[in-house]
Amino acid sequence: MRNPFLSIRHFSTMSPVAACHVAVIGAGASGLAAARHLRREGHSVVVFEKESQVGGIWIYTNHTEPDPLGLDPTRPRVHSSLYSSLRTNLPRESMGFREYPFAAKKTGQRDPRRFPGHSEVLEYLKDYASEFGIGELVRFETEVSRVWRRGSGKWEVRSRKKNGDDEDINEAFDAVVVCNGHYTEPRIAHIPGVDRWPGKQIHSHNYRVPEPFQNKIVVLIGSSASAVDISREIASVANEVHIASWSNSTEESATLPGYDNVWLRPMIESANEDGTISFPHGLKISADIILHCTGYKYHFPFLDTEGIVTVDDNRVGPLYKHVFPPSLAPWLSFVGLPWKVAPFPQYELQCEWIAGILSGRISLPSEEEMTKEVEAFYDSLKASGVPKRYTHNMTGYQFEYNDWIAMQCGTPKTEEWRIKMYHATSLNRNARPESYREEWEDDDLVMQAYQDFAKQIS
Stretch that binds ligand FAD, among 8-16, 50-58, 263-271, 281-289 (CB under 6 A): 50-58
326 touches ligand FAD (CB under 6 A): no
Q: How far is CA 359 from CA 22, 75, 132, 355, 406, in A?
A: 11, 40, 20, 6, 17
Q: Residues 6 or more apart from 347 whose CB is under 8 A from it?
A: 29, 30, 33, 34, 97, 335, 336
Restricting to residues 182-201, name those near ligand FAD by CB under 6 A.
183
The least CB distance from residue 344 to ligand FAD, in Å, is: 6
The stretch among 179-187, 275-283, 368-376, 438-446 that binds ligand FAD (CB under 6 A) is: 179-187
| Residue nearer to ligand FAD on the CB measure, 122 or 287 | 122
**Residue 38 found at the interface with ligand FAD (CB under 6 A):** no
Binding-site member from 35, 95, 218, 290 for ligand FAD (CB under 6 A): 95
Q: Is 129 in the site for ligand FAD (CB under 6 A)?
A: no
Q: Looking at beta carbons only, is 199 or 343 nearer to ligand FAD?
A: 343
Q: Least Å distance between CB 55 and ligand FAD?
A: 7
Give residues with Cβ within 8 angstroms of 327, minimum separation 6. 308, 367, 371
102 lies in the binding site for ligand FAD (CB under 6 A)? no
For the chain, the helix, strand and coil percentages under 3-state DSSP, each to the nearest 5: 30, 20, 50
Strands (DSSP E) contained in 266-313 are: 270-271, 276-278, 284-286, 289-292, 296-297, 310-312
Q: Is 262 in the site for ligand FAD (CB under 6 A)?
A: no
Residue closer to ligand FAD by CB (options 28, 210) is 28
Would you call the peptide bond into 330 cis, given omega within 30 degrees of 0 as the criterion? yes
For residue 335, CA distances in Å to 37, 47, 215 come to 12, 14, 42
Query: Is residue 157 close enough to count as binding ligand FAD by CB under 6 A?
Result: no
Q: Compute the least distance from the CB of residue 419 to ligand FAD, in Å.
A: 15
Q: Please name which of 37, 57, 27, 50 lies closest in space to residue 302, comparing C-alpha atoms.
A: 50
Tell the smallest beta-carbon distance from residue 93 to ligand FAD (Å).
12
The Cα–Cα gap between 69 and 206 comes to: 8
Q: Which of 3, 23, 26, 287 binds ligand FAD (CB under 6 A)?
A: 26
Residues of this chain, 389-448, that bind ligand FAD according to CB under 6 A: none
Q: Note whether 206 binds ligand FAD by CB under 6 A.
A: no
Amino acid at 404: W
Shortest distance in whole angstroms from residue 444 CB to ligand FAD: 22
Among 23, 24, 35, 57, binds ligand FAD (CB under 6 A): 57
- Output 113 or 284, the one with its CB closest to ligand FAD: 113
Strands, E assignment, 324-421? 332-334
Binding of ligand FAD by 222 (CB under 6 A) = no
Exposed e or buried b for every residue in 50-75, given b needs 16+ CB within 10 A? bbebbbbbbbbeeebbebbbbeeeee
The only residue of 28, 326, 330, 356 in contact with ligand FAD, by rule CB under 6 A = 28
CA gap 29, 121 in Å, rounded: 10
> Would you count residue 228 as binding ligand FAD (CB under 6 A)?
no
- Stretch of 174-182, 260-268, 284-292, 394-402 lying at the interface with ligand FAD (CB under 6 A): 174-182
Neighbours of 347 (CB within 10 A): 25
Q: Write down the least CB distance from residue 86 to ligand FAD, Å.
A: 6
Q: Could you tell me which stretch among 62-70, 79-87, 306-314, 443-451 binds ligand FAD (CB under 6 A)?
A: 79-87
For 193, left (φ over 0), alpha (ψ -120 to 50), or beta?
Answer: left
- Give the three-class secondary structure for 330: coil
Residue 370 parent element (H or E): helix 367-383
Q: Is 314 in the site for ligand FAD (CB under 6 A)?
A: no
- Pick the stretch among 87-95, 351-359, 371-379, 381-389 that binds ligand FAD (CB under 6 A): 87-95
CB of 62 to ligand FAD, least distance (A): 15
**Number of other CB atoms surrounding residue 409 within 10 Å:** 20
Q: What is the DSSP letter of 324?
A: B
Determine if 210 is a binding residue for ligand FAD (CB under 6 A).
no
Which residue among 42, 101, 181, 338 contacts ligand FAD (CB under 6 A)?
Answer: 181
| CA 11 vs CA 43, 53, 100, 161, 166: distances in Å | 15, 25, 11, 34, 38
CA angle, residues 141, 143, 145, in degrees to nearest 5: 165
Rounded-to-integer distance, Cα 434 and Cα 44, Å: 46
Gap between the Cα atoms of 126 and 96, Å rounded: 13
Residue with Cβ nearer ligand FAD (180 or 333) = 180
Q: Which is nearer to ligand FAD, 128 or 344 (CB)?
A: 344
Residues of span 284-303 touching ligand FAD by CB under 6 A:
302
Interface residues with ligand FAD (CB under 6 A) are 25-31, 48-51, 56-58, 79, 81-82, 88-90, 95, 143-144, 179-181, 183, 226, 302, 336, 343-344
